[in-house]
Amino acid sequence: MSSPAGGLGMAAEDALSWIQRHSPVEVKCGAGTCAAAGAAARRRGARHVFLVTDQGVRKAGHADRVLAGLQDVGLEATLFDEVAENPHTGHVAAGVKAAREAGGNATAIDWIVAVGGGSAMDCAKGVNLLLTPALHVEFSRLG
């Protein structure tokens, strides 16, 4: 199995552990993760979560389980499921627009959760960056 840590030569489990120790972003996967997302966000002080995913993950039911878990613990949640494979500036801009419209301004969203693979996570990171005032980033497909 190839390592998400690339050339570091670590096993996948070691790489995930490394990411969790060295990043403010929390990456969770495995059985029970969808059900636990609401409680995890609540423990960290979330009030309004922006849930980023794609149509395939939503059709599989994973995003709706996370959404229900967020609402079950009393969190407001806004679903954005317009992510496509290899998201670009247009996907991120649509996410930023949806996040701003969810609460009337950029500060209404105080937590972002991505459900799915790299595309959902990349789009969520882009949305997070652009919700920061005075910042503009271009995303494009490489290769």
Mean pLDDT of successive 10-residue segments in the chain (143 residues)?
A: 46 66 69 88 90 95 94 94 94 93 71 92 90 56 47
| Model pLDDT, residue 33 | 85
Joined tokens for residue 73: 């613990």
| Model pLDDT, residue 140 | 52
b/e 24-48 (16+ beta carbons within 10 angstroms → b): eeeeeeeeebbeebbebbbeeebeb
| Model pLDDT, residue 130 | 84
| Model pLDDT, residue 86 | 92
d(C-alpha 139, C-alpha 64), whole Å: 27
| Model pLDDT, residue 9 | 60
How many CB atoms within 10 Å of residue 79? 19
Radius of gyration over alpha carbons of the chain, in Å?
A: 15
